[in-house]
Structure 1
Amino acid sequence: MKTLGLIVNPIAGMGGSVGLKGTDGEDTPQRALSLGAEPQASKRTHEALSIIGKAMPELSLVTCAGKMGEDTARSSGLTAHTIEGVPQDGASTSSADTRRAALELQRLGVDLLLFAGGDGTARDICDALRTGGFASADLPVLGIPAGVKMHSGVFALTPRKAGETALHFLNDHAAELADVEVMDIDEDAFREGRVSATLHGYLKTPMGGDGVQATKSGTAPSDSQAAEDIARQVAADMTDDTLYIIGPGTTTDAIARELGVANTLLGVDVVENGKLLATDATERDLLRLTDGRSAKIIVTVIGGQGYIFGRGNQQISPRVIRRIGRENIVVVATAGKLRALDGRPLLVDTGDAALDDELSGYIRVVTGYRESHIYRVSC
């Protein structure tokens, strides 16, 4: 029987709902907690492991102690063997713990390393397994998406897809592996509204089925005019005395420019009657502002991946989405972005599986001035 290795970054994703755009940095996790953030990684890992555990209850699983894997594995009904000395400090965890765990799991000969985190966790694993240059060891690695930003191609589309893809790989000796890019961005620059992405290397990732996401792609120069046309249409459709929650992205940035408001390129803003009510809003801000109010959400599509919720806009949480309603979600994307998906659906990964199912189906996407497409949404 194959052996599964597991690493959980327990602080991954906490910065999303409170607008911190990640948890890199020594003081950021504590700041996120002080702002009301809740840990997400354990919950999302449990979702993936539950799928594996039901099909392979006798699976051999090796993981780290406590919150770095053992607790979640046991709560998922799996027997966990732990690595000694990881995490080193017991209660707190660090990127060094992640790197040590990856090396030890490689030494123990696990068949698949499953991890929960974001791009920073993927980068730590990539660095640990690096054999020279951008190359990495032959150990297959698959990510459970649990971070704020996930530009890398090592992540499954959702926690459920992570469980399904891992299960397929563990049951199939001839499963396909591909070298995927591990990308990460400078979070300090990201918090200041600048994207500085770096290729850190490659990891070998199982490609069974349609469970793994694509690497995020940038905006083509030809999309600039299309974004302005979209902005004209959205502005024309706005009604008085309605709150508009505007998500991050270059297409939504064009909407802010059309309205003449100073937005947060990589954050979430709220406007009403053409005026800015909140900038870089948190989930708590959005819940307070929309209480008893008419409101709509405007989101764009992540290029190359297709996500409209669950990647970089976690401030627009399940509670916010449920309050506002699917019928009040406005999706915007250039026709070029939709064509680049090559028929793949738009994606949602809110962290609430029931809500993801409710959001699935078909939705209108504004693609220009007096132009729109009906496009499929999946989870």
Structure 2
Amino acid sequence: MFKLGLIINPIGGVGGSVALKGSDNMVEQALALGAELKANARTQAALTVLLPYKNDIEIYTANNQMGEQAAKALGFEVKLIYQTDSETTQAEDTEKALLALLSAHVDIILFAGGDGTARNIASVISKNVENNEYPQVPVLGIPAGCKIHSGVYAITPTAAGRVVELMLTKQLVTLTEGDVMDIDESLFRQGIVKAKRFGEMQIPSELRYVQAVKSGGKESDELVLQDISEEVIAKMVDNEDNLFIIGSGSTTDFLMHELGLESTLLGVDLVQNQCLMANDVTESILWQQLMIAKGANKNVNLVITLIGGQGHIFGRGNQQLSPRIIRYIINQPCGKENVIIIATKTKLTQLNNKPLICDTGDNELDQLLSGFMPITTGYKDQVLYPVSSPL
């Protein structure tokens, strides 16, 4: 079941129709002038696109006009994760609802509002990234504000629904960083636009198969693998004390050669501080190393690739990665983000929309690993791709 997070700022854009050029601190005045609340209607325009997939979606949201009403009116299954008594919600409501959605581990979060709402969302996301409390979740804005300067919104409400539809139909959805911008509304009302950047958030962008390094319209494998390796090595530099488990396969083998390290093509290697710790380790030795890392309070990352044409990421050629090994890795802070899956987009498209497969031998773990996971496909280039159990 696809878990869609939804937050609506009911007063988003309320000042627009009455020429107040914003909603900040202007709600009562706008309503007194006859303004109508339109954020819910715009959200329903986005959700309408998803009606054909209604039976495959659970919408996690807050009560009343923060999401419940819009979703139930269209017949979606709704799970309430936050309650507010206020009809004109505050920034605090948006932030608390977002925290509840992060703890629910939804697949994506749609939010409706303007740049002020985006700032509220970004502030919580930023703190979460710093504290590593919950895995990072992509977000996307449904434009419902008076001013939309931020790069985290779809171009229309319908477009927001289309992006989610791409995920539901198991197409490649590129992840990128969108800037959160806002302007000084008091100056804006004087005709002065003064925008300021308040951060960035991970968003799903439009479907994009072709990246910058190309040869004749196709991926140049060596250049793409170099890009992928550069991204993983950058993570190693940023997390130099982490223990990196490098799984089997030709893509991970290329990474090891880029590091200048001996590789076990059909085995599992250990790397720390970009230095080789051990080659071709067994499950028991790997577990011992995890316990050593735990005692030293060091995080562990797993770098794996998929079997071309089949899509298996666990259970084929890497049985050293046993259920207890995998559980340890994903039970650390950041959860499944500790698993770094690397693959070229060519390799992913050859799966013909089939999901990646987890066949660990532990059905509960396979289900836990299921859902959308980011796949590193280049330098600062990721796509969301579905992962499924073999059942």
Per the alignment, residue 144 of structure 1 pairs with 142
Aligned partner letter, 1:204: Q
Residue 94 (str. 1) matches residue 90 (str. 2) = yes
Aligned partner letter, 1:80: V
Alpha carbons of 1:168 and 1:138: their partners in 2 closer, same or farther (altered >3 Å)?
same
1:72 to 39, 56, 70: 70
Residues paired across the two proteins, number: 206
Per the alignment, residue 11 of structure 1 pairs with 11
User: Matched residues in 2 for 1:77 and 1:36: separation?
Assistant: 30
User: Matched residues in 2 for 1:127 and 1:70: separation?
Assistant: 24
1:50 to 43, 48, 51: 48
Is the 2:82–2:96 contact (alpha carbons within 8 Å) kept by the matching residues of 1?
no
Query: Which has more radius of gyration?
Result: 2
Alpha carbons of 1:173 and 1:101: their partners in 2 closer, same or farther (altered >3 Å)?
farther
Deviation at 1:189, TM superposition (A): 1.7
Is the 1:168–1:208 contact (alpha carbons within 8 Å) kept by the matching residues of 2?
no
**SS state at 2:177 partner:** strand
Deviation at 1:46, TM superposition (A): 0.6
Residue 121 (str. 1) matches residue 143 (str. 2) = no
**SS state at 1:57 partner:** helix
User: Matched residues in 2 for 1:135 and 1:93: separation?
Assistant: 26
Residue 109 (str. 1) matches residue 111 (str. 2) = no
Aligned partner letter, 2:9: N
User: Matched residues in 2 for 1:200 and 1:134: separation?
Assistant: 15
RMSD of equivalent CA atoms: 2.1
Deviation at 1:21, TM superposition (A): 0.8
Per the alignment, residue 163 of structure 1 pairs with 161
Is the 1:134–1:200 contact (alpha carbons within 8 Å) kept by the matching residues of 2?
no
Is the 1:169–1:208 contact (alpha carbons within 8 Å) kept by the matching residues of 2?
no
Alpha carbons of 1:180 and 1:84: their partners in 2 closer, same or farther (altered >3 Å)?
closer
**SS state at 2:40 partner:** helix
Identity %: 43
Per the alignment, residue 238 of structure 2 pairs with none
User: Matched residues in 2 for 1:84 and 1:113: separation?
Assistant: 14
Identify unmatched segments of 5+ residues in structure 1: 211-379
Identify unmatched segments of 5+ residues in structure 2: 209-391
User: Matched residues in 2 for 1:3 and 1:54: separation?
Assistant: 16
Aligned partner letter, 1:141: V
Per the alignment, residue 20 of structure 2 pairs with 20
User: Matched residues in 2 for 1:132 and 1:48: separation?
Assistant: 27
User: Matched residues in 2 for 1:133 and 1:90: separation?
Assistant: 29
Per the alignment, residue 357 of structure 2 pairs with none
Structure 1 segments (4+ residues) deviating >6 Å: 132-137
Deviation at 1:107, TM superposition (A): 1.1
Alpha carbons of 1:91 and 1:17: their partners in 2 closer, same or farther (altered >3 Å)?
closer
**SS state at 1:47 partner:** helix
- The TM-score, its normalising length taken from structure 1, stands at 0.51
Instruction: Describe how 1:194-209 pairs up with structure 2 within 5 A.
Output: 194-209=192-207
1:178 to 167, 171, 176: 176
Aligned partner letter, 1:69: G
Residue 32 (str. 1) matches residue 30 (str. 2) = yes
Alpha carbons of 1:134 and 1:121: their partners in 2 closer, same or farther (altered >3 Å)?
farther
**SS state at 1:81 partner:** strand
Deviation at 1:176, TM superposition (A): 1.1
User: Matched residues in 1 for 2:69 and 2:3: separation?
Assistant: 18
Alpha carbons of 1:200 and 1:93: their partners in 2 closer, same or farther (altered >3 Å)?
same
User: Matched residues in 1 for 2:131 and 2:197: separation?
Assistant: 12
User: Matched residues in 2 for 1:125 and 1:50: separation?
Assistant: 24
User: Matched residues in 2 for 1:156 and 1:135: separation?
Assistant: 28
